Amino acid sequence: MPDFSLSPELESLRDMARKFARTEMVPHAAECDRSARFPEEIYRKAHALGLMNLNVPAEFGGTGLSLLEQCLIVEELAYACGGMTTSIIANCLALEPILLAASPEQKQRYLPSFCSEYHLASFCLTEPGGGSDAGALRTRARREGEEYVLDGEKCFITNAPHASLYTVFATLDPAARHRGIAAFVVPRSAKGLTPGKDEEKMGHRASSTSTVRFDGVRVPVADRLGAEGEGFALAMRTLDQTRTPIGALATGIAQAALDHAARYALKRETFGKPIAEHQAIQIKLANMAQAVHASRLLTWHAAWTIDRGQKGTLESSIAKCFASDAALHVADEAIQTFGGYGYMKEYPVEKLLRDAKLTQIYEGANEIQRTVIARELLRGYA
């Protein structure tokens, strides 16, 4: 029989993340959102407590958590602030290609310093001309002796202005599309690597996002991950691992929206009674609760599937797609429950809507998730 209860071990991880989220993140969430401030002091604390490189195995000094454990933590962090959570978990995304494809020598070279000291890494796949069409990369890698030379531009790169390491996907042969791509590890100090200025974003404003330019950046062959031509598959395998925590992130935002709405509904009175006693609001809250609960269970199930060693492409796409759509809807309904106050920046729910929106777009737009779901689904009928 499936067991939906959390062991005391899982509960203690979740409780620790909850405590960090409520004491360290919540008090600064509104201010960082308003001023688009990147709260490095909070990220440093998260790193010191082991909340940052969750997927890096303990042998390299990381926390080495299962995907289910990561999801429990990510949901708690996102309950406090989606933007801060995106920046805290961006290392997991950027380091995942190293975990999947680096040689033992490369892992030893890249990973321990990330765990022993506070460093940020950025995952550089998306380009101005191609987001979802990741096979159409324009960033070029040319082999010159024992080096590659990278030229091109990446965009929407999380933490890029603050990162010390970049995992970069570039094409050796644009005509070969998916089969022409290779992955590289590039330090911030590499000549010709230039992060752009911080983008002004709708939500996730405590996170930092910019372009990264590569102008003749020379990368030793020793810093290539896997073989030439295997880069696209590596990017997809990376996203297979990191998609599920986005479901958890969306669930955290949705749970926060539901909690705000339910508390407000019990307090706010119209027509002589709390609005929670009006059926229109009860139906809203009931629908929101269903969406949150389903998001969490789909996320846990996808994590459980992948933790059992299965690929989980279908499950993780369903979880990410459902939970992010649900988060937007639940945040919307929370604003509606608050009425005019919900539209005011003085209240916390409009931020949730802006933060929820991104979860439908990044780490594979929901249109791509649906394409993937349909493909996996139809395979079973063909």
Partner 1 sequence: MEIVVCLKPVPDAETRARPLPDGTRFDPEGVKFVLAGYDESAVEQALLLKEAIPGSAVHAISLGARSRTDEVLRAAIALGCDSATAIEASPAAFEDPIAVAAGLRAAIEGLPHDLVLLGKQSGDEEEGLVPGALGELLGLPHFGFVVDLRWDATSQRLRFGRSTEAGEESWEAPLPCVIGLQQAWNDPRTAKLPAILKSRRAPIATVRAPTGPPEGPTSEPARFELPPPRTGAKMIEYRTPAEAATKLVRILSEEAKVFP
Name the active-site residue from 146, 363, 367, 376.
363
Structure tokens at 299: 């996320």
User: CB of 318 within 8 A of CB of 294?
Assistant: no
Stretch that binds partner 1, among 7-15, 122-130, 322-330, 345-353 (CB under 8 A): 7-15
1, 3, 4, 8: residue in contact with partner 1 (rule CB under 8 A): 8
Beta bridge partners of 300: none
Give the pair of three-digit tokens for residue 139: 């960033």
* 60 counts as binding partner 1 under rule CB under 8 A: no
Instruction: Tell me which residue of 104, 123, 119 sits closest to 234, measured CA to CA.
Output: 123
- Residue 67 binding partner 1, by CB under 8 A: no
Is the C-alpha dihedral spanning 298, 247, 4, 301 positive or negative? positive
Q: Which stretch binds partner 1 (CB under 8 A): 43-51, 250-258, 268-276, 349-357?
A: 43-51
Q: Closest distance between partner 1 and the C-beta of residue 244, in Å?
A: 19
Q: How far is the CB of 342 from partner 1 (least distance, A)?
A: 25
Cα gap 276→65, rounded to integer Å: 40
Q: Does residue number 176 form part of the binding site for partner 1 (CB under 8 A)?
A: no
Q: Of 148, 154, 149, 262, which Cα lies nearest the Cα of 210?
A: 154
Of the pair 117, 367, the CB lying nearest partner 1 is at: 117
Q: Which of 6, 16, 236, 361 binds partner 1 (CB under 8 A)?
A: 16
114 belongs to the binding site for partner 1 (CB under 8 A): no
Nearer to partner 1, 66 or 106 (CB): 66
Q: Catalytic site residue 363?
A: yes
Contact call for residue 6 and partner 1 (CB under 8 A): no
Taking CB under 8 A as the binding criterion, the range among 11-19, 117-125, 149-157, 159-167 that sits at the site for partner 1 is 11-19
Binding mask 69-108 for partner 1 (x = CB under 8 A): ----x-----------------------------------
209 within 8 A of 198, measured Cβ to Cβ: yes
Nearest to 149 by CA among 94, 195, 189, 186: 186
- Give, rounded to a whole angstrom, the gap between the first and last alpha carbons of the chain: 30
Pick between residue 134 and residue 265 the one whose CB is nearest to partner 1.
265
Nearest to 166 by CA among 179, 181, 153: 153
Residue range at the interface with partner 1 (CB under 8 A); choices 45-53, 84-92, 142-150, 356-364: 45-53
Nearer to partner 1, 58 or 283 (CB): 58
Residue 45 is encoded by which pair of tokens?
């604390």
Cα-Cα-Cα-Cα dihedral sign, residues 78, 81, 85, 88: negative
Sequence-ordered alpha helix ranges (H) in the chain = 8-20, 26-35, 40-48, 67-80, 82-101, 104-116, 231-267, 279-307, 313-338, 340-343, 349-359, 366-379
- Asked whether position 49 contacts partner 1 by CB under 8 A, the answer is yes
DSSP annotation of 40 reads: H
Rounded least distance, CB 68 to partner 1, Å:
14
Q: How far apart are CA 65 and CA 74, in angstroms?
A: 12
Among 6, 30, 36, 50, binds partner 1 (CB under 8 A): 50
Q: Which residues are catalytic?
A: 363
